[in-house]
Amino acid sequence: MQLPAVPGALAPSLLAIPVAFGINGATTLADSPLVLMLTGVLVLASLFSIIFFVSGGSHFQDPLFCVFVVFSFTSIVDLIISLEEDGYISGFMEVYIREGEPYLRTAHGIMICYWDGIVHYGLYLAMIAAIGQRKSYRNLGLFWLGSLMMSIVVFLLGNLIGKYSSDLSPAFLLNLPYILIPIWAGGRLFQQPKALPCLSPEKVAEEQRKRLYQRPQDMGLVLVLLLTAAFTFFRGMVVLDCPADSCFEYIYQREPYLRDPVAYPKVQMLIYMFYVLPFFCLCIYGLVLPGCSWLPDWSLVFAGAVAQAQFSHLGSSLHSRTPFPYQTPEDVWWSFFITNVLYALGPQLLAYRCLRCPAFFLPATPASLHMGKKHQ
C-alpha cells in the first residue's frame, strides 16, 4: 500500500517518523499504515504533553509555537533521510522512501532535506526560544516563510510535471495543508508589530533627501540587482528553449542540470523569472525612491526563498545522484559555483541593508516632509 506523499521541505510525513526509531520494526510498520499513523500521532502527543507540563501551557498562547514544534520534529526526520541517502547512516528510512516517496532519493530531494534538517531546524529552535523568552521573532519568521514556501512550491510542481509524476497517487492531495499552514503562519507573522527604530523625524528626512549617487552602498546594491535580474531573465529563457546560440551553449556546456527530466531545475528557473525577477525590479525602485516601507519585510522573505533555492540548485547540480550527463562539467565548476553563490548573496545583502539602516524606507512623517521642503 502506497503511503501518502508529503513535501520534503516539511519532512516526509508524520507517518514516516516512527520508522526512524527502529530498524527491526520498519517492515511491520510499512505493512500496517494504520499502526504507523497511530504511532506518529502518539509520539507527537507525547511531545506536546511534555512541553505543556514543563512550560505550564504559557507557550501555547502563541499558535505558531505548535507549528514550530511539529516542524522541528519533522526536520530531524528530513536530516535522517538525507544522511541515509548519502550513505552516512543506514536502515532507518529505507522502507518509507522506497514505498512512499521515491523522489526524495533524487539530488534535489536530498538537498531540500539537508536544508530542512539544518537551516530550518535552527530557525525553529531560535523562534521557539524567542517565544519562550517573549521576544520578537518576526524577522526570523519572515526569512523562514520565504525559504519554506520556495521549497514546497518547487518540490510539488517538480513532482507533478517531472519524471516521477506517474508515481503520484490521489493521496498527493494531502499536500494541500502543507501549503495552507505556511500561508496562515505568514499572515500571523506580518500582523506582528514591527520593531521600530529610534529615529527622529529630522534624521529620517535627512536620510531620505539623499539621492542615489549620494548613497554608494545603495548604488552598489542597485548594480548587483540589475546583474542578478539580467541573469534571472537569461536562465528563464534558457529553460524555455530559446533558440539563441548563447542559450544553447549555456544549457549544454555550463549548466546541463537545467535539462534534468526531474523538472525541479526548470520549475526553479521559471519561478525565478516570473516572481523573483519582478521583485528585483521593485527592489531597485525601493532603493531609488524613499518611503517604500514594504521593502524591509519582503526583502527578508525573498532572501530566505533565494537562499534555499540556490542551496538546493547548486547542491543538486554537483551531487552524485544527478545523472552524469546533467552534472556540471569539471572545467566550468568554479565559475558555476561562484556565479550561483553571488546570485544568492545579492538578496541577503539587500535584507541586511534594510534592517541595518531602515530610515530610508520609513514612511515620511509630516515633520520630515516639512524638513524636506525646507531644504529644497
Smallest Cα–Cα separation from 207: which of 139, 291, 150? 291
Q: pLDDT in tens for each of the 376 residues of the chain?
A: 444 444 444 444 443 444 444 434 444 444 444 454 555 566 666 666 666 665 555 555 788 988 898 888 888 888 998 999 988 887 777 777 776 777 888 999 999 999 999 999 999 999 999 998 889 999 999 999 999 999 999 999 998 888 877 766 555 665 676 788 899 999 999 999 887 777 778 888 888 898 989 899 999 999 999 999 999 999 999 999 999 999 999 999 999 999 999 999 999 999 999 999 999 999 999 999 998 999 999 999 999 999 999 999 999 999 999 999 999 999 999 999 999 999 999 999 999 999 998 899 988 665 444 444 444 4
Tell me how far apart the alpha carbons of residues 282 and 70 are, in angstroms, rounded to a whole number. 35
Are 168 and 222 contained in the same domain?
Answer: no
Query: At 346, which helix (H) or strand (E)?
Result: helix 333-356
Looking up cell 539621492, which residue turns up? 211
Judgement on whether residues 264 and 186 belong to the same structural domain of the protein? no
| Same domain flag for 178 and 256 | no
Q: Are 265 and 239 in contact (CB under 8 A)?
A: yes
Give the Cα separation of 350 and 221 in Å (integer).
7
Provide the CA 369 distance to its chain's centre, in angstroms. Answer: 38
Helix 295-318 and helix 277-288: axis angle, to 10°?
Answer: 140
Classify residue 368: in a domain, yes or no.
no
Q: Are residues 143 and 244 in the same domain?
A: no
How far is Cα of residue 101 from the mean position of the Cα atoms in its chain? 20
Residues 118 and 237 in one domain: no
Asked if residue 209 is part of any domain, the answer here is yes
- 110 CB-contact burial (10 Å; exposed 0-12 / middle 13-18 / buried 19+): buried
- pLDDT for the residue 116: 94
The whole-number pLDDT of residue 300 equals 97
Length of the chain in terms of residues written: 376
Within a domain: 252: yes
What's the Cα-to-Cα distance from 188 to each of 67, 154, 184, 202, 290, rounded to whole Å? 12, 23, 7, 33, 27
The answer on 288 and 174 residing in a single domain is no
Question: CA of 365: how far to CAs of 149, 205, 359, in Å?
Answer: 34, 9, 12
The three cell numbers of residue 86 are: 548519502
What is the spatial distance between Cα 325 and Cα 367, in angstroms, rounded to a whole number?
62
Q: Residue 181 is inside which H or E element, if any?
A: helix 176-191
Number of domains in the chain: 2
Q: What is the pLDDT of residue 338?
A: 95
Residue 236 and residue 170 share a domain: no
Which of 162, 191, 220 is where one domain is finished? Answer: 191
DSSP string, 195-248: ------HHHHHHHHT--GGG-HHHHHHHHHHHHHHHHHHHHHHHHTT---HHHH
The predicted model scores a pTM of: 0.84
Residue 148 lies in a domain: yes
Q: Is 363 exposed, middle or buried (0-12, 13-18, 19+ CB in 10 A)?
A: exposed
Check: CB of residue 103 under 8 Å from CB of residue 6. no
Range of the domain at 319: 201-361
167 shares a domain with 91: yes
Q: Say yes or no: 16 and 83 in one domain.
A: yes
Q: Which of 191, 210, 241 is the last residue of a domain?
A: 191
Among the candidates 147, 171, 191, a domain finishes at: 191
Q: Which 3 state secondary structure label does DSSP give 28?
A: helix
Cell numbers for 226: 540589475
| Residue 302, in any domain of the structure | yes
> Do the domain assignments include residue 75?
yes
Same domain, 46 and 182: yes
Does one domain contain both 182 and 205? no
**Share in percent of the chain as helix, strand, coil (round to 5):** 80, 0, 20
CA dihedral 137, 140, 141, 145 (to 10 degrees): 180
- Are 49 and 135 in the same domain? yes
